[in-house]
Amino acid sequence: MSLAQRWIKAAYGGSNWLVPLYPLGNLYRYLMGRRAQCYREGNKPVWQAPVPVIVVGNITLGGTGKSPLVAWLSRWLVQQGFSPGIVTRGYGGKAPHYPLLVTPSTDPAHSGDEPLMLAQQTGVPVVADPQRARGAERLVQQGCDVLISDDGLQHLALGRDIELVVIDGARGLGNQRCLPAGPLREAPGRLASVDAVIVNGALQRPLEISSVAMQLVPQRWRQLPTGQHYPLQPLPFALPVHGLAGIGNPQRFFNTLRELGVEGEMHPLADHQPFDEHTFQFMPPRPIIMTAKDAVKCQAFAPSDSWVLEVEAQLPQAFEDWLANRLSVLTQRGCTDG
């Protein structure tokens, strides 16, 4: 087990292994609080877009399900008659220039894996830029009338109208300690100030705040080299398989595969890990099953028997009604201000 894996196990499992780091965690928590105060008091500039901004983020390290929620929001907004756009940092990519308008054919080395995946899944404008306010401004110039900031909770230089925080139902807040003593980017009290806390999957650890349930539901299999889709059952590939996942919480993906009757050897990889031909040199040769986020990094060289499990977020009608009402208020206010 690597040091990173040991740390994650301790942070989410309540081990005493991280106790010596508690003072550093307290210092981190203090510094994050001071930083937020500087933005609130106007000591650091905040750019407020002329259109509503929805921030999707989390207060924990590791995958929680933010990207599926961003994709769901994009599709839902289009259905409501909006022209949304997504702004993201573009982690894992290095573009020749910023802001980078990400298209379905953008080189993932430039955009990063998640921006490219979102561009392919949603069809809405996606801009990657480490300076999110600059990227958001580009989306407004593109004609977007609602902006979604992916993983933008801690990027306070971009003003926001709605904050949505995603929490993994199985992991929760872990030991509720801030980095490096625990998995938190901000203190647990931050949840009280956001507009909605969305729990991905069954809640297995208590939260002292009301939440909205979200489920990631498998939809179909996609054969990576051909792009052809197949239903979930019967399985379109032979068992056993090699499953791989370079995401924040690989085990959640592996659990989903097993629930679908997919058995084999599972290979957890680092989040955003770059892929090349050597990534797939598993023995013995078997079908390879991966996430959509992984697939965008290896379209050109993945083996012919490579498959992608496509999933979509599902949220309750009550959340849709609440969001529609909030956006109605925001857009009416914008018309009045204008």
Mean pLDDT of 273-278: 86
Residue 335 has pLDDT above 70, yes or no: no
- 267-280 burial code (b ≥16 CB/10 A, e <16): bbbebbbebeeebb
pLDDT digits (tens, 9 = 90+) for 3-17: 777 888 899 887 788
pLDDT digits (tens, 9 = 90+) for 136-151: 999 999 999 999 999 9
Q: What percentage of the chain has pLDDT greater than the value 90?
A: 84
Q: Which residue ranges form the domains of the chain, and what is each CATH number?
A: 3-213+315-337 (3.40.50.300), 216-314 (no CATH)
Burial class (CB in 10 A: 0-12, 13-18, 19+), 204: exposed
- What residue ranges in the chain does DSSP mark as E strands? 53-57, 84-88, 100-102, 126-128, 146-150, 162-168, 196-200, 212-223, 229-230, 241-245, 264-268, 288-291, 306-314
Q: What is the pLDDT of residue 1?
A: 62
pLDDT digits (tens, 9 = 90+) for 174-187: 999 999 999 999 99
Structure tokens at 156: 């306070």
Q: What is the pLDDT of residue 48?
A: 96
Query: What is d(CA 151, CA 166) in angstroms, rounded to the nearest whole number?
Result: 10
The DSSP output letter for 17 is G
pLDDT digits (tens, 9 = 90+) for 152-168: 999 999 999 999 999 99
Query: What is d(CA 170, CA 5) in angstroms, rounded to the nearest whole number?
Result: 17
The DSSP output letter for 303 is -
Q: Is residue 271 very low, low, confident or very high in pLDDT (cuts 50, 70, 90)?
A: confident
Mean pLDDT of 41-70: 95
pLDDT digits (tens, 9 = 90+) for 75-134: 999 999 999 999 999 988 999 999 999 999 999 999 999 999 999 999 999 999 999 999
Q: What is the pLDDT of residue 16?
A: 85
Residue 334 has pLDDT above 70, yes or no: no
pLDDT digits (tens, 9 = 90+) for 39-53: 999 999 999 999 999
Residue 142, CA distances (Å) to 48, 124, 228 in order: 17, 11, 32
